[in-house]
Amino acid sequence: MVYELPKLPYAYDALEPVIDARTVEIHYSKHHQTYLNNLNKIVEENPDVFNGKTIEEVLSNLDLIPTSIRQQVINQGGGYYNHNLYWANLSPNGGGEPQGKLREAIDKTFGSFDSMKEKLAQAAKGVFGSGYGQLVLDNQTKELEIIQTKNQDTACSIGKTTLLIIDVWEHAYYLAYQNRRPDYVDKIFSIVNWDEVEKRYDLALSK
């Protein structure tokens, strides 16, 4: 059993002008693919650790991973998992604002949609080094939170469900934005797939 690369749900140039085609192509077909290849190598050498589990199930129970390969699974499995989520929560038809139960929860937790957006943008811009800004649901309290995650660490490893993930590794923006990470983060909100984020929220609440 091996994991598979989810098909990119749009063309390489579909996210322009926010994210240029070359960046999407390299990010997806090189970076994401490489995390997957490295993960599958670990799977082939340690089939009993994975044993038909989803990568989310594996990363949600780090204690079950032998210590000799745990950090590699966090790095490569997390890189695979985080990028699956990242591509799916972007869309050329995205932008606007969330609706329904998610919107109610955002207003209740953060005061307003704009206030949540501002906090998430600040979190993403403020990651020191490589990582992600994320809107998550805490699996115990069922409260929304904004968090930073480092490197390829995952929200599911700390008992939270990723609703919206913003990749701020330099490979996500450097060709077009160079050092201007804040510009990339501000613009990415115009391509957020809120339908997908709402679906994740509804699913996480039902668990």
Q: Which residues bind Mn ion (CB under 5 A)?
A: 167, 169, 172
Hey, is 34 helix, strand or coil? helix
Nearer to Mn ion, 101 or 150 (CB): 150
Q: Which is nearer to Mn ion, 109 or 151 (CB)?
A: 151
Closer Cβ to Mn ion, 110 or 132, answer by number:
132
CB of 146 to Mn ion, least distance (A): 19
Q: Which of 173, 127, 171, 134 lies closest to 150, judged by CA?
A: 127
| Shortest Å distance, C-beta 125 to Mn ion | 16
The CB-of-90 to Mn ion minimum distance in angstroms stands at 12
Q: Is 44 helix (H, G, I), strand (E, B) or coil?
A: helix
What's the closest the beta carbon of residue 79 comes to Mn ion, in angstroms? Answer: 7
Nearest CA among 56, 72, 54, 68 for reference residue 1? 54
Residues 10 and 86: their CA atoms lie apart, in Å, by: 13
Q: Which is closer to Mn ion, CB of 90 or CB of 121?
A: 90
For residues 143 and 102, give the distance between their C-alpha atoms in angstroms, rounded to a whole number.
Answer: 11
Q: Which residue number is nearest to Mn ion in terms of Cβ?
A: 167
